[in-house]
Each structure stands twice: as structure tokens, then as C-alpha cells.
């Protein structure tokens, strides 16, 4: 078990996670599946020659920006999900001094009649907690159970019934193993119906409540850290928006 990182070292580690994930958005190619298209100008010419689209004047800057932006935003949301998961795992590892090997938990559930292996986005084996952390977290976690498992979402924006069913089945499987399932959703703009359904099986936190939970759990204010890192985040985001 490693020693707890100093705050400057931890902050540098979190900055690296932010930069790495946002830079991956910049490397996204919105024209990947369009043969011979590498620029907005190429795409405009393709639209002008397309017999289905050309009569509807789609080769316009606004349409092209919306089309490219839609693909880019989908990729951005996916990477924000990866980003928040990575930040959370790093905080668990450093602030609770948990080895990486204990942070992942894989279980087998049945999906569409087939057994499939699924991993949680984070795991705290309660036996691995140090005595000071156990005392501090007594009012936050059910330490009578074997552990606490987490699903981490930047936002729950998929209303797919199979995804909802899988989340339900994972929660039930965890409970059967005496592991408490907690879902952390960092945004406040999720789809309401799947979140309400998920909340029937997971202990659920959203938005500011999620940031407050993470603060109490890890003794680190992630929300305040992200706000203070605007000088790091804003230029990268501007490059992303400029690419639309």
C-alpha cells in the first residue's frame, strides 16, 4: 500500500488525466467514415454532389458545423465519462491509499440469456481501509458490508432499455455479494426516466450531491479543483469548439 500523495503531486496527477482525455477529443476525426473527405470544404463538395442532399441546400456552414459538431459532441461526452471515472479512481487510490488491484471488481451477470462479465467503475474493499479512514467514513458507507462498488457517469444520457436492465442486474448481483452499489452522476441534466429507474437499485447521487459525496469520501474537493483549473481546461475546450 503506497503512502498518501502530497496535495501538489495529486493535483498534478489529476491535471494529467484532464489533459490526456481532452486531447483525445482533439484527435477525433469527424470525417473518418467518409471516403476522400478530410476537411469541411471536402465535406461541402460531397454534399453538393449528393443527389439526395444537394436539392435541400445542406452544403452550408451551419449544417456542416452541426453535423461535425454532433459527432464531436458525442465523442466529447464519452471522453468526459472516461475523465470523471479516471479522476475518481485516482482519488480513491491516493486519498484512501488503496492499491490499484483492489479498485476494480468484475462479476458475471446474465444478459439476453448469456453470461457476461462486467466490471464496476470503482471498488472499495472495506477490509482494505485504514483505521483512520474507517472511522471517518462510518457515517458515509455501510461498513458492515464487504465493500462498496461504484458506477461513475459524467451524465446518464442513454435511455436504452438494455443498458438500464444491465445496471439493474449489476446492482442486484453486487447486493447478493454484500457489496453496496453506489452510482455517481456528476451532471444535473441526465435523462430523468432511466435515472429514476436506476435509483431503485443503486444508492444514487447527482450533480452537486455527487461532488459533495466525493469530497466526503476522499477528503478532496474535486469540484473546487476543477473550477480552479480553468486556465488549463478553457484553452483545450476552445480548440475543440474551433474544430467544429
With H, G, I as helix, E, B as strand and everything else as coil, classify residue 52. Answer: coil
Burial class (CB in 10 A: 0-12, 13-18, 19+), 184: buried
Specify if 176 maps to a domain.
yes
Residue spans of beta strands (DSSP E) within the chain = 106-111, 114-119, 122-125, 147-153, 179-185, 203-206
Q: Which of 29, 18, 15 is nearest to 79 (CA)?
A: 18
Q: Is residue 1 part of a domain?
A: no
Helices (H) and strands (E) in the chain, counts: 9, 6
Q: What is the pLDDT of residue 18?
A: 97
Asked if residue 83 lies in contact with residue 17, where contact means CB atoms within 8 angstroms, the answer is yes
Predicted confidence at residue 1, as pLDDT, reads 45
The number of folded domains in the chain is: 1
The pLDDT, as a whole number, for residue 111 is 67
**pLDDT tens-digit series, residues 20-49:** 999 999 888 878 778 888 888 999 999 999
Residue 93: give the domain boundaries: 7-242
Q: Which of 195, 121, 119 is nearest to 157 (CA)?
A: 195
Which pTM does this prediction carry?
0.88
Rounded Cα distance between 15 and 214, Å, is 17
pLDDT of residue 85: 96
Separation between Cα atoms, residue 33 and residue 39, nearest integer Å: 13
Tell me whether residue 238 is in a domain. Answer: yes
**Average pLDDT over the chain, rounded to an integer:** 91
Q: Per the domain annotation, does 25 fall within a domain?
A: yes
The answer to whether residue 67 is domain-embedded is yes
Q: How does strand 179-185 pair with strand 147-153?
A: parallel
- The answer as to whether 2 is a domain residue is no
Are 225 and 11 in contact, with CB atoms under 8 Å apart? yes
The ranges of the chain with pLDDT < 50 are: 1
Would 31 be classed as within a structural domain?
Answer: yes
Query: Using CA atoms, how far apart are residues 152 and 204, in angstroms rounded to an integer?
Result: 10
Dist. CA 234–CA 236, nearest whole Å: 6
Amino acid at each position: 500500500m503506497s503512502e498518501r500523495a502530497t496535495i501538489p503531486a495529486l493535483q498534478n496527477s489529476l491535471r494529467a488525466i484532464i489533459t490526456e482525455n481532452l486531447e483525445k477529443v482533439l484527435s477525433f476525426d469527424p470525417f473518418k467514415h467518409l471516403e476522400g473527405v478530410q476537411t469541411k470544404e471536402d465535406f461541402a463538395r460531397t454534399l453538393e454532389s449528393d443527389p439526395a442532399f444537394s436539392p435541400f441546400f445542406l452544403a452550408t456552414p451551419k449544417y456542416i458545423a452541426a453535423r461535425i459538431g454532433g459527432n464531436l459532441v458525442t465523442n466529447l461526452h464519452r471522453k468526459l465519462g472516461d475523465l470523471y471515472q479516471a479522476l475518481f479512481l485516482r482519488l480513491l487510490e491516493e486519498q484512501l491509499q488503496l492499491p490499484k488491484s483492489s479498485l476494480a471488481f468484475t462479476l458475471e451477470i446474465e444478459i439476453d440469456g448469456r453470461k457476461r462479465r462486467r466490471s464496476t467503475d470503482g471498488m472499495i474493499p472495506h477490509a482494505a481501509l485504514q483505521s483512520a479512514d474507517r472511522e471517518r467514513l462510518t457515517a458515509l458507507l455501510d461498513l458492515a458490508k464487504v465493500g462498496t462498488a461504484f458506477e461513475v457517469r459524467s451524465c446518464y444520457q442513454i435511455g436504452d432499455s438494455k443498458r438500464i436492465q444491465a445496471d439493474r442486474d449489476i446492482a442486484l448481483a453486487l447486493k447478493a455479494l454484500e457489496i453496496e452499489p453506489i452510482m455517481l452522476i456528476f451532471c444535473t441534466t441526465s435523462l430523468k426516466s432511466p435515472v429514476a429507474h436506476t435509483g431503485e437499485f443503486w444508492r444514487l447521487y447527482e450533480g452537486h450531491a455527487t461532488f459533495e459525496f466525493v469530497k466526503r469520501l476522499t477528503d478532496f474537493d474535486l469540484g473546487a479543483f476543477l473550477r480552479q483549473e480553468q486556465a488549463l481546461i478553457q484553452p483545450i475546450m476552445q480548440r475543440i469548439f474551433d474544430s467544429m
